[in-house]
Amino acid sequence: MATIDQLDPNTPVIVGVGQASERLQDADYAALGEADLAARAVTVALTDSGADAAALAAVIDTVAAVRSFEISTPMSAAPLGRSNNMPRSVAKRTGMNPRRAIQAPTGGQTPQTLLTELGGRIADGTSDAAVIFGVEVISTVRNLQSRPADDRPDFTETVDGDLEDRGFGLKGIVSVGEVRHGLSAVLPQYALLENARRHRLGADRATYARSMGELFAPFTRVAAANPYAAAPTERTADELIAVSESNRVVADPYTRMLVARDQVNQSAAVVVMSVRAAQEAGIDPHRWVFLHGHASLVEQPMMQRPDLSVAPAAPAALEHALAVAGIGLDDVTHLDLYSCFPIAVFNICDAFGLRPDDPRGLTATGGLPFFGGPGNNYSTHAIAEIVTRVRRTPGEYGVVVANGGVLSKHAVGVYSTTPTHWRADHSAEIQERLDARPSIARIDDADGTAVIETYTLTSTKSGRRNGTVIGRLLDPGTGERTRRFVGTVESDDTEMIDLLASGEPIGAEIFVRSTPGGNRVSADRATAERRHPRFLGFRDSYEHIEIRRDGHLLEVTINRPEARNALHPAANAELDEVFDAYFADPQLWVAILTGKGDKAFSAGNDLAATAGGAAFSVPKNGFAGLTARPSKPKPVIAAVNGFALGGGCEIALACHLVVADEQASFGLPEVRVGLAAAAGGLVRLPRSVPQALARDMILTGRRLSATEAAAAGLVSRIAPRGTVLDLARAVAAEILAGSPVSVRASLETMEHTDAIADELDAIHASTAVLDTLIGARDTLEGITAFVTKRPPEWTGH
């Protein structure tokens, strides 16, 4: 420890905190937008310093905004408009003119990580004074949307000035596979983790529900006394867990009262500055609060965690922050544990032996379900409360544990009025150890017998229940658990719904089947085959494609010219089924794929028809049932009759041969719409054309003409305008003139040896193709026909 006189003048100190809120039922409710409500909290924080607020505002050089829900994901929206630069909008309202404005990434850990970061910048002399704020007005926006359109305010605002926007920061929080199965929302994700913890403890449903109620009942008492709380009502454990019309089960095991409350109007702010700047502003040192310890760690992505019931990064962050402060948890008087869902609190309590009735209390605000869960900004309120408490009891310590994602990102701060030098943490070293832990392999498209690892049932207001399962495939030979998957249970599958709704589903054997819409879980194989039959053959007609058989040749035409032959889930499903049938049919030896009309082979993924999670409803075999197919044992010719863009180009790349109309063009423009050519383009294009050209196409969206594509090796032949299908048929006839056994064996060998780097090793490996051919009837027929000077009669065997 140190005295104030011994401190480095750049030591950061918190000098002011402020909160503001309004409820719809308040007599003075003003329906404030984000910027105005945030300005109230910032003004309170500046005033809280005891200095002249206007003079203090003038010295703030950095303003950082915690990201609000309106801009927290790519799918977020601001229905009533918002500022283009929220930090500077709030600064303008409060007399600040910062040289730096920051928009933090998504995550409930950001209030603490921002404070640690900006404290460090003050400590190294690159900043003198900063304000951190966050705000949510979700309740107001939803209420105002119920008004007629001409009676709604417009919160749109344009402010000049630089803005350091750090983006969404969602990497590692949710995967494409999880979104595809409805896990883009945190509620079912946390419910899955909660049920995993219940199972680990060996608790039945009723016992565990009571434990959640007993954990959160003390939180309601704190919220009831907090003037900023959204739900200031004390409740018993029984009230919290009793299922009723007003407290329905939203996701097993959670009732509505056990989860974070997002319909709030709340804002909070913190002012942090150097000792020198605080002294120059005349701020009483008795109002100074020091950040004694801090840490920031990241958990493994949910689907990779060895144990879904725990998140070791959170207790590790708390332990390290306490170590940096030089104290233990027993030395802490005031606690605020992030409480979006019970497991977030239990995760810390389990590691440190904390009880729900700990005399210190586990929350300083009342917790997210009762005080309110203002988006990513909850912990700014927690910091404000902890700062206020340690000021009242000088020398005591307070701790804030912040959480973001799905027990994913963790930040901890240790606070006290006791003067201390700035201390660096060693979170990076601890993160390296955490990252070295084992992880579980994931599979996006799962098929086979499996075991339930955890589950949840979500319920709509109408009573419809939908199940979600995280499971592990079982090795058919050993019965050992292998790769992890997420799957869904359809609401009309009463057998599976009943299994998840009673008793102990975890550990039960089930059967999972991949479908174009995702993994579907059933009680057993027979049920899966009945509910999700796999049709192997050709239908009489298709809605989005056309097929034509001509002897050993199959022609497949994408029939969506109005959409430039772009593929939506239904078209992809039909193509996937047709190619399943093609590769299984012994009488079909060559296939041609083309697009209807003369404008487009395919524009790839139909973005207009695949909004939201449907954008990921692609068969496990990829676009057109080809781009991710593990084996294509018979030739597929792409007859490119117009442009092949994005997924359309990737489909062509997945074919064995590409012939093109002279007016055709090829390109991967995904980067221009914020996507990437992840359906094979990033891998196949650099293997098909010179790497410099591939990088040019991938990074810029550059298109190649048919002539350029042929020169680069992407296209094998070019047809005069309007005759590409004739050319493809001619090429198919040339292939059909050869032995189908030889063609198939050659394809297999080329695929197998492609991964062998050494050329001589690859040549030696390729000779195995002769082992296949030497016993084939077609090989004898081919040699005999050559010797007798007659056309061979191939059988395909």
Residues with a known catalytic role: 650, 670
What token pair was written down for 273?
Answer: 């500055």
Nearest residue to 728 (alpha-carbon basis) of 745, 740, 715: 715
Strands 62-65, 553-558: pairing kind? unpaired
Helix axes 110-123, 378-392, angle to 10 degrees: 60
Nearest residue to 739 (alpha-carbon basis) of 775, 703, 767, 776: 776
Helix axes 205-224, 342-352, angle to 10 degrees: 100
Nearest residue to 710 (alpha-carbon basis) of 698, 726, 727: 727
Cα 506 to Cα 471: distance, rounded to the nearest angstrom: 9
3-state secondary structure of 722: coil
Cα 603 to Cα 667: distance, rounded to the nearest angstrom: 10
What token pair was written down for 236?
Answer: 């018993």
Cα 712 to Cα 710: distance, rounded to the nearest angstrom: 5
What token pair was written down for 606?
Answer: 């139909």
From residue 68, alpha-carbon distances to 372, 375, 662 in Å are: 14, 6, 51
Dihedral sign computed on CA atoms, order 69, 71, 77, 82: positive
**Residue written as token pair 């959480």:** 403
Cα 385 to Cα 366: distance, rounded to the nearest angstrom: 10
- Inter-residue contact 267 to 17 (CB < 8 Å): no
CA 168 to chain centre: 10
* DSSP string of 11-24, one letter each residue: -EEEEEEEEEE--T
From residue 738, alpha-carbon distances to 535, 779, 795, 796 in Å are: 31, 10, 11, 10
Upper half-sphere CA count for residue 419 (Cβ side, 13 Å): 14
Q: From its phi and psi, is residue 81 left (phi > 0), alpha (psi between -120 and 50) or beta?
A: left
Q: Alpha helix (H) ranges present in 98-151?
A: 110-123, 138-145
Nearest residue to 20 (alpha-carbon basis) of 45, 49, 52, 56: 45
* Percent of residues in the chain assigned helix, strand, coil, to nearest 5: 40, 20, 40
Dihedral sign computed on CA atoms, order 502, 505, 510, 515: positive
| Number of other CB atoms surrounding residue 3 within 10 Å | 7
Cα 619 to Cα 623: distance, rounded to the nearest angstrom: 7
Strands 509-515, 448-459: pairing kind? antiparallel
Sheet holding 332-337, edge to edge: 290-298, 409-416, 397-404, 332-337
- Inter-residue contact 404 to 379 (CB < 8 Å): no
Helix axes 740-753, 759-766, angle to 10 degrees: 150
